[in-house]
Amino acid sequence: MKKYFFVLMVFVLVMSLGGCKQDDKQGSDMTTEVTTETSTEEASSEEEKLVEVYLKDVYGSHNIKVGTCLSPQMVDDPELSKLITEQFNSVTMENAMKPDYIFNKEKSIEAGDLVVEFNSDAIKMLDFAKANNLAVRGHTLVWYSQTPDWIFYEDFDTSKDFVSRDVMLARMESFIRQVFEKLDEMGYLDLFYAYDVVNEAWMEDGSMRSNNWSTIIGEDYLWYSFYFANKYAPESVDLYYNDYNEQFKAGALVRFVETLVDEDGNYLIDGIGLQAHLYTFDNVFSYFKAVDKLAGTGLKIEVTELDVSLGSWQNTLDATDENLKAQGKFYYDLIKGFIDRVDAGTINMDAITFWGFEDSLSWRSEASPLLFDKDSNPKYAYYGAAQVKELSGYE
Ligand code: GLA
């Protein structure tokens, strides 16, 4: 059974008010410091203050939305969906709006053009967002991965040849137009404030990733992606380039976004999405050097898929108290770095999205990268992300 963290926090606070000693357990550690020296009166206001820590309030006070990725499973589970609506005010479909999920092959063959059709999972999640006032980040249009092969072939038949550049450009324009038209027709477009137009097009060595889009259209497939998105998306939807290992690609990304301009020199892009799939062994200071470089383009910056795995890419660490504390401190420092920059006006950032919230539902569950444990109890990571320093693992 999942326990909701609200209940746990009250319980833990009461325990520590009774003079409970710090022990190895995360729960006791989390509250001892803040409560041991408070009088009963002070303690009850402390209790209220802590109980009221919700991510969307903390981030909202800096005009930053806070989001999570969303799966159909989360919407179907009353406890998970309650946690989502209490903590977050933005969602990104984890899969349902990726190219693999938005085309109807039979209808495309019949029409001789790509036909976009959102599936029932996408509709269910969009309805959930609408009913709960959750803003939506669209993810994603043009990507090398999770994209059906058949969209690149003559007659949508993979036994035939690739289509020509002109046909592929026409298909690209058509499907991008349909995405925005259909969302509008179905009454969901107003929910969207950002859309990842292109995902993961650059390599760490600064070269462009070669894929079916670049092979058929050429390197300017990237320019056309933004050109078409700009043509069909409403002004209210910011258009993003989104990538991982962004801290190693900053130079290439700065050069790239400078090419995404129209004939008058105006940007066709609004922002750069930092996936921020990070590790506790990463260096927050170095990370922000890259962030500042990207912010120097004048574009918006959003954190789009944040998770912080224990250890490093090569070496996942166990979820010991020590490692979880290191993770809590990492989240604290990272989020503080962003908030400080937003407050100082050196970065134009309106949203931070976590790639989930509960470890067992994460794509990297073995590395315990998220804010809540498998029972939906908050980890040090949660308090770090919520900027409650004394509960985040800092002594
Ligand atoms: C990338 C993609 C996401 C997701 C993650 C893994 O970061 O942008 O959509 O697929 O990989 O879950």
Q: For residues 165 and 224, is the Cβ–Cβ distance under 8 A? A: no
User: Distance between CA 369 and CA 348 in Å, rounded?
Assistant: 26
Ligand 1 pocket, residue 362 CB under 6 Å: no
Pocket test for ligand 1, best of 144, 275, 304, 354 (most atoms within 8 A of CB): 275
Question: How much distance in Å is there from the Cα of 70 to the middle of ligand 1?
Answer: 12
Give pTM, 2 decimals.
0.88
> What does the pLDDT read at residue 206?
95
Average pLDDT over the chain reads 90
> What does the pLDDT read at residue 395?
81
**Percent of the chain scored above 70 by pLDDT?**
87
Question: Residue 155: phi, psi to the nearest 5?
Answer: 55, 20
Q: For residues 294 and 301, is the Cβ–Cβ distance under 8 A? A: yes
User: How many of the other CB atoms lie within 10 Å of CB of 258?
Assistant: 11
Q: For residues 199 and 243, is the Cβ–Cβ distance under 8 A? A: yes
| Bridge partner list, 68 | 91, 354
**Average pLDDT of the segment spanning 128-147:** 98
Cα dist from 181 to 98, 116, 238, 343, whole Å = 17, 10, 16, 36
Asked if 173 is an active-site residue, the reply is no
Q: How far, rounded to the nearest angstrom, does the alpha carbon of residue 198 sit from its chain's CA centroid? A: 14
Question: How much distance in Å is there from the Cα of 244 to the middle of ligand 1?
Answer: 9
Residue 361 reports pLDDT greater than 60: yes
**Average pLDDT of the segment spanning 219-227:** 98
Q: How far, rounded to the nearest angstrom, does the alpha carbon of residue 143 sit from its chain's CA centroid? A: 16
* Sheet strands (E) in the chain: 65-70, 90-93, 135-143, 192-199, 238-243, 271-274, 277-279, 300-309, 351-354
Residue 14 reports pLDDT greater than 80: no
Question: How much distance in Å is there from the Cα of 13 to the middle of ligand 1?
Answer: 37
Residue 168 reports pLDDT greater than 80: yes
Residue 8 reports pLDDT greater than 50: no
